[in-house]
Amino acid sequence: MSAGVAVRLAGVEKSYGPVRVLNVPDLELLEGQVVGLVGENGAGKSTLMGILAGTVAPDAGEVEILGVRLSDGQPDHAQQLGVAMVSQEFPLVDKLSVAENLFLNRRPAGAGPLFDRRLVERGAEALLRDLGVRIPVHRLVETLQVPQRQMIELAKALGRDPRVLVLDEPTSALGPVESDVVIRVARARAARGDCVLFVGHRLDEVRRVADRVLVLRNGELVADLTPAEATEVRLIREMVGRELEQQAAEPPPARDPRTVLEVHGLTAEGLGPIDLRAGAGEIVGVAGLMGSGRSRLLRVLMGAQARLDGEVRLRDRPYAPRDTADAIAAGVGMVPEDRKLQSLLVDAPVRWNLSLAVLPRLARRTLGLLTPRDDRALAGRLVRDFGVRCRSPEQAIGTLSGGNQQRAVFARWFATEPGLLLLDEPTRGIDVGAKAEIYRLVEEAAARGMAVVVVSSELEELMLLCHRIVVMARGRITGELARGDWSKERIMTAAAGTSMAS
């Protein structure tokens, strides 16, 4: 029996001011399919997803879900028709527990008129158990790391038993093992007859999971490909309209013998003991599964989490930051894994976000007074040097694409001229073109003599960028591999907490 049409778009258009961001004359998504959707930041993917979820009203055209016309800009109607969306922005309530977030706006089966916490928690445990995820359901969401929030978003969507599941960058914060869980869920939903729209920047995952791959460029649907047609070269060419140069070359040798960072016996809550070294001009990768302690290690080094024991030396001096201000003053910078939550003032101008880390230095030059002229001059130079695409430095940074936001974060830290640069998932949620630019910035940091420690869930990324890779499991380093000695198998063996010996 042929599959029915789950989603139909006819003549859908959307503009913001004079800029048309989406124009889809005709598109059908079928039941029982995983449909991949790729495109550069700004290609129209978010607008298309917003229209399907009912959070964005199109200017023209209509959308049908399972044969019923969707009321424009009505998210409640979209949910009633069976649409659920897993957003990369994590619209969770930080002050509520995991269980309460999973059952927001709905009741677990068998619930009475009164709130039954035990019933809600049992329902939450069942949802997470079905995913194979272990997160205490009584914990507040604000205490969770980004990968855990991602899995809660997925569990919340699945709890609605959707007929149309929209996955927005569902693996961007996850390692290989957790990403496999998401891919397995997507395939399982399609196998039971649901329609899954899988939006991603990891092209290998999109090709692996999808029955069909759509490519958006400048708001237009430019390709509708079979899995065989959707080679990485073809996808990149369709996305950017040209062949893309190699994203990164093998990093140059770190010839400077100076050690910038020395860590001996470092312990913190859920971490350690850790021994780690990073030299000037060296890029050291940190691999591991979700919960291995990778991000926690960087937060401790940045002064954002307390150290319990051990010794850390920076440029051959004792280093014990009480907070992030101490770390910045000592010459440490950090690009965190969630730029919007942990790094940016999203409603503030690009200019403010660029100068944030160097305000004390600017003020010292003018006897404690910060002049707008100095601030604007710095912002203008950084926007130009780092290719931050914006109308002006006065534009709100939250209105920029993910790639431009990330360039701005890098520019902020380069302005401080740090000796140690910590990078946590530096290419999360950005497209292949912007990713190539971020790789060049990482290599430039090393070329300027910084020691760079980079955490990434993408093993290919670490193997491309780094001189050495250390692997973490259960809060400890379980292996260290030099370029030429590593492989995915050896890294994953260490990430599982077992010996790398052949």
Specify the pLDDT at position 308: 92
Q: 201: exposed, middle or buried (C-beta count within 10 Å: 0-12, 13-18, 19+)?
A: buried
Q: Where is pLDDT greater, at 309 or 131?
A: 309
CA–CA gap between residue 357 and residue 359 (Å, rounded)? 6
- Look over the chain and give the mean of its residue pLDDT values, rounded to a whole number: 86
What band does 195 get if pLDDT is binned at 50, 70 and 90?
very high
- Residue 476 pLDDT greater than 70, yes or no: yes
Q: What is the secondary structure of 25-39 as a DSSP string?
A: EEEEEETT-EEEEE-
Specify the pLDDT at position 255: 62
CATH 3.30.530.20 fits 259-345+419-495, yes or no: no
What band does 249 get if pLDDT is binned at 50, 70 and 90?
low
Specify the pLDDT at position 250: 65
Between 3.40.50.300, 3.90.226.10, 3.40.50.1820, 3.30.1950.10, what CATH number should domain 5-240 receive?
Answer: 3.40.50.300
The DSSP bridge partners found for residue 438 are none
CA–CA gap between residue 413 and residue 418 (Å, rounded)? 7
- Residue 406 pLDDT greater than 50, yes or no: yes
List the strands of the sheet with 271-279, edge to edge: 271-279, 259-268, 309-314, 317-318
Q: What is the pLDDT of residues 417-431, one digit of tens each?
A: 999 999 999 988 777
Q: What is the DSSP letter of 227?
A: T
**Do 288 and 457 touch, CB atoms closer than 8 A?**
no
What band does 179 get if pLDDT is binned at 50, 70 and 90?
confident
Please tell me the least confidently modeled range out of 61-65, 158-162, 486-490.
Answer: 486-490
CA–CA gap between residue 157 and residue 352 (Å, rounded)? 36
Structure tokens at 367: 């006897």
**Do 221 and 36 touch, CB atoms closer than 8 A?**
no
Across the range 132-159, mean pLDDT stands at 88
Please tell me the least confidently modeled range out of 205-219, 276-290, 389-403.
Answer: 389-403
CA–CA gap between residue 290 and residue 295 (Å, rounded)? 9
Across the range 435-452, mean pLDDT stands at 90
* Domain boundaries for CATH 3.40.50.300 within the chain: 5-240, 259-345+419-495
Please tell me the least confidently modeled range out of 29-33, 193-197, 457-461.
Answer: 457-461
Across the range 360-380, mean pLDDT stands at 69
- Residue 176 pLDDT greater than 80, yes or no: no
Specify the pLDDT at position 495: 83
CA–CA gap between residue 167 and residue 177 (Å, rounded)? 18
Nearest by Cα to 431 from 407, 408, 399: 407
E-only strand ranges, 296-450:
309-314, 317-318, 332-335, 420-424
- Residue 432 pLDDT greater than 60, yes or no: yes
Pairing outcome for strands 60-65 and 68-69 = antiparallel
Q: What is the pLDDT of residues 279-333, one digit of tens each?
A: 999 999 999 887 788 999 999 999 999 999 999 999 999 999 999 999 999 999 9
Specify the pLDDT at position 88: 76
Specify the pLDDT at position 2: 55
